Amino acid sequence: MTSDREKLCAAPALPAGLAQALEGYAWARDLVGESGGAVYRLHGKPGAPELYLKHGLGSVADAITDEMVRLRWLAGYVPVPPVLHFASTPSEAWLVTAALPGETAFQALQARPAERMAIVDALAAFLRRFHAIPVSECPFNSDHALRLGLARNRINEGLVEADEFDAAREGWSAEQVWQAMQQLLPLAPSPVVTHGDFSLDNLFITGGVVTGCIDTGRAGIADRYQDLAILWNCLGEFAGELQDRFMVAYGEPDIDQGKLQFHLMLDELF
């Protein structure tokens, strides 16, 4: 079943071995959160499970490779999609994973308003589990110093899409966001293993329990507000009371507004 968040399409060009492995599937292209690459849902093959394929060129291919490595590492700690196939060239990458069971948290919140508080509690519980992964065992760094450097490069290269900024920064330039962030530095870090893009479309739920997460290419050690800010912002699309519920359920009732705003602005630049 397709929705307004994807569209049916033909299979893209694939390496020979990968094309053979994926023969017989119908294809639908995801319209949400592609970040410069292409995401496809593969479905409709009799007796075969649904799959997802990510494809990208250049820096997007590098990001897909990063995600593949992180998925394999995270699988030892939290539920993530199993990596089934990976192929790459010096400038291109393809990643195929199994689909996670359930529906996205966005779909669950949209479909069942009466259950929203319980859904938010489940999201908070999963984030606590994610943040409990021992920092000493994580080989990936995603702290705000690293991401500020990447953000500065994106601004300099004209890659930031200012017309997609949140309403709070509507009409701002990327440079204005950058300058506003500088006013909030330095930050006193509270480092944990973060997901990096902890949004409603990247979390899956079934039976009131989070069954896993996707889009882990930014996972690594960073301040906990990297994840808190993104989901807090997503929940504002539904109701402010859900934002409050999430922070309390996670264990952060006294919100650090400086960190919250810093990470919301940092996310604008990616």
Q: Which amino acid, residue 244?
A: D
Q: Span 144-149, mean pLDDT? A: 96
Residue 37: what pLDDT?
86
Tokens standing for residue 8:
């049916």
User: Among all residues, which ones are annotated catalytic?
Assistant: 197
Q: Looking at the chain, which residues constitute the CATH 3.90.1200.10 domain(s)?
A: 103-268
Angle at 160 (CA atoms; ends 155, 165), nearest 5 degrees = 125
Query: Who contacts 233 (Cβ-Cβ below 8 Å, separation ≥6)?
Result: 166, 264, 267
Q: Span 224-229, mean pLDDT? A: 98
Residue 255: what pLDDT?
97
Q: Is the pLDDT of residue 239 over 70?
A: yes
Residue 139: what pLDDT?
98
pLDDT in tens, 244-265: 999 999 999 999 999 999 999 9
Residue 35: what pLDDT?
61
Q: Looking at the chain, which residues constitute the CATH 3.30.200.20 domain(s)?
A: 6-97
Task: Map residue 45 onto helix, strand or coil.
Answer: coil
Residue of 28, 195, 31, 200 whose CA lies nearest to 104: 200
Contact 151, 178 (CB under 8 A): yes
Q: Span 62-67, mean pLDDT? A: 95
Residue of 89, 110, 108, 86 whose CA lies nearest to 97: 86
CATH superfamily of 103-268: Aminoglycoside phosphotransferase (APH), C-terminal lobe (3.90.1200.10)
Q: Is the pLDDT of residue 10 over 60?
A: yes
Fold of 6-97: Phosphorylase Kinase; domain 1 (3.30.200)
Q: Is the pLDDT of residue 4 over 80?
A: no
Query: Who contacts 69 (Cβ-Cβ below 8 Å, separation ≥6)?
Result: none
Question: Alpha carbon 132 to chain centroid distance?
Answer: 18
Residue 64: what pLDDT?
95
pLDDT in tens, 94-105: 999 999 999 999
Q: Is the dihedral of CA 75, 79, 80, 84 positive or negative?
A: positive
Question: Per-residue DSSP letters for 78-146?
Answer: S--PPEEEEEEETTEEEEEEEPPSSEEHHHHHHH-GGGHHHHHHHHHHHHHHHHTS-GGG---B--HHH
Residue 210: what pLDDT?
97
